[in-house]
Structure 1
Amino acid sequence: MRKVTTLFLKIAVFIIGLLVLALCIFLVPHLADFAAKLYPNIAPMKYLVFILMYGAALPFYFALYQAFNLLRNIERNTAFSELSVKALKNIKGCAFTISGLYVVGLPLFRLIARKVDPPIGFIALIIIFASLVIAVFAAILQRLLQEAINIKSENDLTV
């Protein structure tokens, strides 16, 4: 059962990675061109969109890699290890980084939303909130896993 579940989650991680890659390849250039056309007097507008979107994609893919490693640890029955704690710590850091990038990019989304429908700014808020939820969840799991490892090592020493 565990093998099937982790395989399903690995496939889900891979599909999510492919979907975000497709968005980065096809949607981000159009969004950057659209923002540059909206504000032709702001010369680096196109590059700001690229920096924000691709800058957030890097920690996202690193977090996906860490999630894949975490699933591999679960398959190998080494979920209660320092490697798993480190993977959760990295996922937490990546989620905070993505949130931070989008918080810094909020004025950019506000400029775009001023000329088009406001849901663009709302989407940025959703991304920030989702990243913060993932970061907090990873932090809680990291702490719980670390405490479980400490209890396990204490029990191993007393026996």
Structure 2
Amino acid sequence: MKRGTTTSLKVAVLIIGIFVVAACIFGLPRLAVFSAESNPEYAYLKWPILVGLNATALPFFLALYHAIKLLTFIESEEVFSSLTNISLSQIKNCALTIFCLYIIGMIFLLMQNALHPGIALIGMVICFVTIVIFLFTTVLQKLLQNAIDIKTENDLTV
């Protein structure tokens, strides 16, 4: 893969990270204040929801970090190594963690009778995306492990 392609992917990952940081620092608190003022009967949920959403940002940033590591391995032509497999495993675990946190959050909101259909739809979309990422990285991880096994076998044969 050309260096320009991986560099542009790294830049895209960094831009995504910057947008999510900005949303966590500036957007979510303002949205929480606006929602608490608009719906005073649910104002007590402001802090649990903010903490929950920011908690999902942690595995997201860890996944972005491992995506950049993965692109670095691709650049240095170390694709067929156990380090690449570890990064894929971490991305898979982060996706599963985000999925679980959103499911827990939606159940919590449902128990509080505060799960608005729009919020539920956004939560389901995020859950769907994380499951797709989980399944995709699982398939890639298995393919990579098979390729590593074949490479190791060929190295021993020669």
TM-score, normalization by structure 2:
0.90
Equivalences for residues 104-123 of structure 1 within 5 A: 104-107=104-107, 108=109, 111-113=114-116, 118-123=117-122
Q: 1: CA distance between counterparts of 2:135 and 2:64?
A: 16
Alignment check: 8 A CA contact 2:106 2:115 kept: no
Aligned to 1:27: 27
Aligned to 1:93: 93
Aligned to 1:2: 2
- Identity of matched residues, %: 45
Q: CA deviation at 1:150?
A: 0.6
Deviation readout 1:66-117 (Å, 9 max, x if unpaired):
000000000000011100000000000000000100001113276151xxxx
TM-score, normalization by structure 1:
0.90
1:147 aligns with 2:146: yes
Higher mean C-alpha deviation, range 10-19 or range 20-29: 20-29
Aligned residue pairs: how many?
Answer: 154
Deviation readout 1:43-69 (Å, 9 max, x if unpaired):
3x1221122111100000000000000
Q: CA deviation at 1:120?
A: 2.1
Q: 2: CA distance between counterparts of 1:8 and 1:53?
A: 28
Aligned to 1:135: 134
Q: 2: CA distance between counterparts of 1:132 and 1:79?
A: 24
- Structure 2 runs not aligned, ≥5 long: none
Alignment check: 8 A CA contact 1:35 1:112 kept: no
Q: 2: CA distance between counterparts of 1:150 and 1:141?
A: 14
Find the residue that maps to 2:114 and give its secondary structure: helix
Q: 1: CA distance between counterparts of 2:40 and 2:143?
A: 48
Alignment check: 8 A CA contact 2:35 2:43 kept: no
Alignment check: 8 A CA contact 1:60 1:94 kept: yes
Give the direction of change, closer, same or farther, for the CA distance of 1:39–1:138 in structure 2 (3 Å limit): farther
- Structure 1 runs not aligned, ≥5 long: none
Partner AA of 1:152 in structure 2: K
